[in-house]
A and B are shown apart, each in its own frame.
Chain A
């Protein structure tokens, strides 16, 4: 079953605005990861945050993790048309061998 759940399911904003997506999960984790998927393509890993970290940055991406609330957020600042994609969170949960995936947030950046 899916552990991660992203919200919103879809988000449409103007270019230049910030986009925030959220992910909730159910069990304890070692790490949480965010991925991007352009339409019709494979997923691309964006960032991994470990359970002992609270915030992580990579370029225009900022990820926060609140293990007490079992939630994470992905912030994309100064959005660009090229950021249009679906974004997925994934957690490791109890497994040593697989990730548990959310259903994704579809982000549309309007020029």
Chain B
């Protein structure tokens, strides 16, 4: 069966520090991969999606970037975090874009 791992679960970082969040999927090949951010009590904001290795589409211009160095690995990065980067970050995968998405347990990011 397919599983998705996302880590860390919680992260506290100072303003201006770098960020690296990692997500890996097991049990499937060539998945679509997604990074979302969710503000408290709100819906999902799509940040990046990827349909293949090295293929990244950005939905929101900001100081975040994403990479897909391997088929089932998706990384969210920042060189310098802002206070506004605080939030709940979710990684997800799907077989195709219109099909159900399967989510990791998220990373709670707090910027001090």
Residues of A within 8 A of B (CB): 2, 30-31, 33, 40-45, 48, 88, 90, 92, 95-99, 101-104, 106
Contacts and interface: CB of A to CB of B under 8 A. Distances in A.
Contacts of B57: 97
B14 to A, nearest CB: 23
B44 interface: yes
B105 A42 contact: yes
A101 B44 contact: yes
Contacts of B102: 45
A97 B43 contact: no
B87 interface: no
A103 B97 contact: no
27 contacts: A2-B43, A33-B100, A40-B88, A40-B106, A40-B108, A41-B105, A42-B6, A42-B92, A42-B103, A43-B44, A43-B101, A43-B103, A48-B99, A92-B97, A95-B97, A96-B96, A97-B32, A97-B51, A97-B57, A97-B97, A98-B34, A98-B46, A98-B49, A98-B59, A98-B97, A101-B44, A101-B46
Contacts of B108: 40
B112 to A, nearest CB: 20
Contacts of A30: 98
A92 B97 CA distance: 8
B25 interface: no
Contacts of A31: 98
B43 A104 contact: yes
A10 B63 CA distance: 33
Nearest to A97: B97
Nearest to A89: B43
B90 interface: yes
Given A40-B108, A92-B97, A97-B51, A106 B103 contact: no
